[in-house]
């Protein structure tokens, strides 16, 4: 069946996208649909109260809504239990929580020691590199980096040959934020578990554009940010297998994460509360809930097919533009990165902006990948449910203008 490249009848849901503006930076942050904006406005304007503390009715109602958001997030990614979902500020905080709380804390059974190893890949976002470097420096562990295949996928065959019983954690992007390449996550989990290591997946670019089932993937930790899922900033999810979370000591101390406090000592709440110190981003959870409802009403399979069609059209259109080099696989998930000979990506982005086309230009928080590609930066177009053929055509026209300007 042919796939339509019209918007999924959803452009009118996004008040921040004016007519004639091609927003192609969804991989950085997605625009917000009206149902999410309305949920946030109601949360602050009509129903706001604290959670888990008040004995009055509104607080009880907000607590139920907040915990319903946790259950919704768990169901969204196939988590067996809502208690396995920890709310964090975003994927970055989720990765740091695992790195510092599990592998960098001497009270954790997963604490790394000299000689232990961490496996990453060449295409990771800085948020899945720097926390592990900090832990390696602190503990004496060492980092290995899986190479890429010729079309920009994590080379699992090579990684299989690199893994040893000294590896304790494998941390990989489910979908590359630069190349759009999709990891064979089930195989990565099998390889990690085959040497006794745990697997963390960075799902920021996966959850907005494909169905995710953590049980089927076989991973041990999964993180994502709401703002890339058409939700608000400042809220995200860390999922971890219940037995792993139960064994982890708290990462931060404060209110809500305790069982009993005295100056003689403190006992801690069970997960997920143990990892949610302080007043949470209450309304952010309501917005996340609304965002999940929104994408599931459309259907993740439909979103994946829609974006795949846009990627194909974009790659075909850009091949006709003089001196454009495409990066990443043909079947990239919702992302097309490219460079133009003799033109810096920042100049491409500036000229496209003059024509009302918004892309990302830079290293995309993936400088090791840029070095591997032999470039400083790329231009990146990334898609959402509000994009259609008109946006691809606007991008192609803009790049033809760039080509003319720079000769």
Known catalytic residues are: 365
Please tell me the distance from the alpha carbon of residue 288 to that of residue 295, in angstroms, as a whole number: 11
Determine phi and psi for 301, rounding to 5 degrees. -65, -40
Angle between helices 389-406 and 345-354 (to 10 degrees): 120
Please tell me the distance from the alpha carbon of residue 293 to that of residue 287, in angstroms, as a whole number: 10
User: Pairing relation of β-strands 22-23 and 357-358?
Assistant: parallel
Q: Is 382 helix (H, G, I), strand (E, B) or coil?
A: strand
Determine phi and psi for 43, rounding to 5 degrees. -60, -40
Q: Is 88 helix (H, G, I), strand (E, B) or coil?
A: strand
Buried b (16+ CB within 10 A) or exposed e, 184-212: ebeebbebbeebebbbbbbbbbbbbbbbb
Signed CA dihedral, 98, 104, 109, 112: sign only: positive
Residue 315 in tokens: 């790659």
Signed CA dihedral, 273, 63, 205, 346: sign only: negative
Q: Cβ(356)–Cβ(394) under 8 Å?
A: yes
């Amino acid at each position: 069946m042919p796939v339509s490249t019209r918007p999924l009848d959803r452009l009118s849901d996004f008040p921040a996208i004016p007519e004639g503006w091609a927003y192609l930076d969804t991989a950085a942050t997605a625009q917000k649909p009206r149902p999410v904006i309305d949920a946030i406005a109601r949360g602050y304007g009509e129903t706001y109260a604290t959670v888990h503390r008040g004995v009055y009715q509104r607080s009880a109602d907000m607590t139920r809504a907040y915990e319903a958001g946790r259950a919704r997030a768990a169901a969204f990614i196939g988590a067996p239990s809502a208690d396995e979902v920890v709310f964090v500020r975003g994927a970055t905080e989720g990765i740091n929580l695992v790195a510092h709380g599990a592998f960098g804390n001497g009270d954790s059974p997963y604490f790394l020691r000299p000689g232990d190893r961490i496996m990453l890949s060449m295409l990771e976002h800085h948020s899945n590199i720097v926390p592990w470097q900090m832990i390696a420096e602190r503990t004496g562990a060492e980092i290995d980096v899986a190479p890429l295949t010729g079309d920009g996928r994590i080379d699992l065959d090579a990684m299989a040959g690199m893994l040893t019983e000294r590896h304790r954690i494998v941390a990989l992007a489910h979908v590359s934020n630069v190349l759009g390449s999709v990891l064979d996550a089930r195989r990565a989990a099998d390889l990690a578990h085959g040497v006794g290591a745990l697997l963390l997946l960075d799902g920021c670019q996966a959850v907005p554009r494909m169905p995710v089932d953590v049980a089927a993937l076989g991973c041990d930790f999964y993180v994502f940010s709401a703002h890339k899922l058409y939700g608000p900033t400042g809220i995200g999810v860390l999922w971890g297998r219940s037995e792993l979370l139960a064994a982890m000591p708290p990462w931060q101390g404060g209110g809500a994460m305790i069982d009993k406090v005295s100056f003689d000592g403190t006992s801690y709440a069970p997960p997920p509360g143990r990892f949610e110190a302080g007043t949470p981003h209450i309304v952010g959870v309501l917005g996340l809930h609304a965002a999940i409802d929104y994408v599931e009403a459309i259907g993740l399979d439909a979103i994946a097919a829609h974006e795949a069609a846009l990627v194909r059209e974009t790659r075909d259109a850009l091949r006709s533009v003089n001196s454009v080099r495409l990066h990443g696989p043909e079947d990239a998930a919702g992302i097309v990165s490219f460079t133009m000979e003799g033109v810096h990506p920042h100049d491409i982005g500036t000229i496209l902006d003059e024509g009302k086309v918004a892309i990302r230009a830079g290293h995309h928080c993936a400088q090791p990948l840029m070095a591997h590609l032999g470039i400083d930066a790329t231009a990146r177009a990334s898609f959402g449910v509000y994009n259609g053929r008109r946006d691809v055509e606007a991008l192609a026209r803009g790049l033809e203008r760039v080509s003319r300007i720079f000769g």
